[in-house]
């Protein structure tokens, strides 16, 4: 069957008309693409914005050191407040020195799919540096990564409070921040073997929080419980010095977490990056809020009263849980992730007491257990990883950190002892260890 000449001419005319009509549309699309390209930030602008993100995120995470100090000062008894304050400013300082001396290069330089980086101090860009190929200032990156190390050490401080000597603790901080944390971190963030496998931990539910939690657990097991905590066949409460101080510390940590998670986007030079940072902020906040509400409801159901310290830890558990993947979840998923993290704390705190593991501030349930949960649940919202890979990463970090920490704590215990004498513990570490007696009304009966 053949087409008539007139019909063929008609089809050709229609085709020509279509091309003429489409031409302006194609031209407009091309012009729009060219305009978008011309308005994209230059390499200089992207460098500045990315560096600014690291710096802002870094000082927010640094402010978390104040949060930990206030939280711990509020949750220990009055006779140990000065000691906790000293430990927190000391560990932050040691972390900074060790991460420059050896930690950063162990974590990031020369890992290449392996298990460890290289040794040596880290060199920043020269004055007026022009290393645009990195996309950000190297000093800003070092600063942002350093404050994460200090966070991990702060987790240990609260768990072993009120009975551990100052100097064994500080020596452990040297090892943790200079070697244990950087080597473990290299496996994922440094491009090591877990990164190659597909393990995912966006901002450190495991790399930061669980690592600190495992180290704290090893310390708590070896140093033992506080005198009187589990005497008489029962659990004896030891209320902290200041609920307002602990609450302030929690709010400071909550604020700092926006830098912790948001700046882990690692770039702010495009509209896409800024949009993602905003989404991370929102998910982070809502997970913490869900942690608060969930803990309050559970406490009311289980105990017919709401314990404020447990609610504070519920907020922190929600923050820890969402940290492994704060970008991908929908809002309702972020709520569930945060709420489950808080529920873990509500049930784990009494469980640890039954096991006679004395964790003064509840850091093990908050940072270790909620961190494991947050890391495990990543594939629920992020299809680029798998539950199997996440479990391998969780177990690997747990075994490595627990074994290394236990060995270091054991050596310190054998050489110099970990805990103060019974008399010094009753007196309080403020007076026994650092010669401060800030509360003259304190009696030995307290």
Extract the tokens encoding 145: 């990564």
Strand (E) or helix (H) holding 364: none
Average pLDDT over residues 40-66: 93
Per-residue pLDDT band at 29 (split at 50, 70, 90): low
What is the pLDDT, as a whole number, of residue 41? 83
Per-residue pLDDT band at 44 (split at 50, 70, 90): confident
Which of 37-41, 183-187, 364-368, 371-375 is least confident?
37-41
Q: What distance in Å separates the CA atoms of residue 102 and residue 306, rounded to the nearest whole number?
A: 45
User: Is 261's pLDDT higher than 70?
Assistant: yes
Predicted structure pTM score: 0.89
User: Is 23's pLDDT higher than 60?
Assistant: no
What is the pLDDT, as a whole number, of residue 28? 56
What is the pLDDT, as a whole number, of residue 21? 44
pLDDT digits (tens, 9 = 90+) for 316-366: 999 999 999 999 999 999 999 999 999 999 999 999 999 999 999 999 999
> Does the domain spanning 47-123+154-434 belong to CATH 2.30.30.100?
no
pLDDT digits (tens, 9 = 90+) for 128-167: 776 667 788 999 999 999 999 999 999 999 999 999 999 9
Q: What distance in Å separates the CA atoms of residue 119 and residue 383, rounded to the nearest whole number?
A: 35
What is the pLDDT, as a whole number, of residue 30? 52
Per-residue pLDDT band at 70 (split at 50, 70, 90): very high
Report how far apart, in Å, the C-alpha atoms of 171 and of each of 37, 103, 408 are: 53, 15, 9
Chain-wide mean pLDDT for the chain? 90
Average pLDDT over residues 204-215: 98
User: Is 306's pLDDT higher than 90?
Assistant: yes
What is the pLDDT, as a whole number, of residue 7? 39
- Residues 339-374: b if buried by 16+ CB within 10 A, e if exposed: bbbbbbbbebbeebbeeebbbbbbbbbbbbbbbbbb
């Amino acid at each position: 069957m053949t087409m008539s000449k007139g019909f063929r001419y008609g089809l050709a005319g229609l085709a020509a008309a279509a091309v003429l009509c489409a031409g302006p549309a194609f031209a407009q699309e091309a012009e729009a693409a060219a305009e978008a390209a011309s308005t994209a930030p230059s390499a200089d602008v992207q460098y500045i914005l990315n560096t600014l993100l690291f710096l802002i995120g870094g000082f927010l995470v640094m402010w978390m050191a104040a949060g930990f100090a206030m939280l711990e000062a509020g949750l220990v008894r009055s006779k140990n407040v000065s000691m906790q304050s000293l430990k927190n400013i000391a560990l932050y300082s040691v972390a900074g020195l060790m991460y420059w001396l050896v930690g950063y290069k162990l974590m990031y330089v020369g890992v290449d799919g392996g298990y460890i980086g290289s040794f040596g101090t880290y060199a920043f860009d020269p004055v007026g540096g022009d290393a645009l190929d990195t996309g950000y200032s190297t000093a800003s990156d070092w600063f942002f990564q350093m404050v994460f190390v200090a966070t991990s050490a702060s987790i240990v401080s609260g768990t072993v409070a009120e009975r551990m000597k100052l100097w064994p603790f500080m020596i452990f901080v040297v090892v943790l921040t200079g070697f244990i944390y950087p080597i473990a971190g290299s496996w994922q963030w440094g491009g090591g073997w877990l990164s190659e496998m597909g393990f995912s931990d966006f901002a450190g539910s495991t790399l930061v929080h669980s690592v600190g939690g495992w180290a704290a657990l090893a310390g708590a097991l070896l140093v033992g419980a506080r005198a009187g905590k589990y005497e008489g066949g029962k659990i004896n409460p030891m209320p902290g010095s200041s609920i307002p101080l602990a609450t302030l510390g929690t709010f400071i940590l909550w604020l700092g977490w926006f830098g912790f998670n948001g700046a882990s986007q690692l770039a702010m030079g495009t509209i896409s990056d800024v949009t993602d940072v905003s989404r991370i902020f929102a998910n982070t906040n809502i997970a913490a809020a869900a942690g608060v509400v969930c803990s309050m409801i559970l406490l009311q159901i289980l105990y017919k009263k709401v314990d404020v310290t447990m609610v504070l830890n519920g907020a922190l558990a929600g923050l820890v849980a969402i940290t492994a993947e704060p970008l991908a979840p929908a809002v309702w998923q972020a709520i569930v992730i945060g709420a489950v993290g808080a529920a873990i704390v509500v049930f784990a705190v009494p469980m640890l007491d039954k096991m006679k593991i004395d964790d003064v501030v509840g850091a093990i349930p908050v940072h270790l257990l909620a961190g494991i949960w947050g890391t495990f649940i990543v594939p629920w919202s992020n299809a680029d990883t798998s539950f199997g890979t996440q479990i391998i990463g969780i177990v690997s970090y747990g075994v490595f950190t627990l074994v290394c920490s236990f060995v270091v704590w054991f050596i310190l215990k054998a050489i110099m002892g970990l805990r103060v004498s019974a008399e010094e513990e009753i007196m309080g570490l403020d007076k026994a260890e650092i010669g401060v007696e800030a509360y003259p009304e304190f009696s030995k009966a307290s």
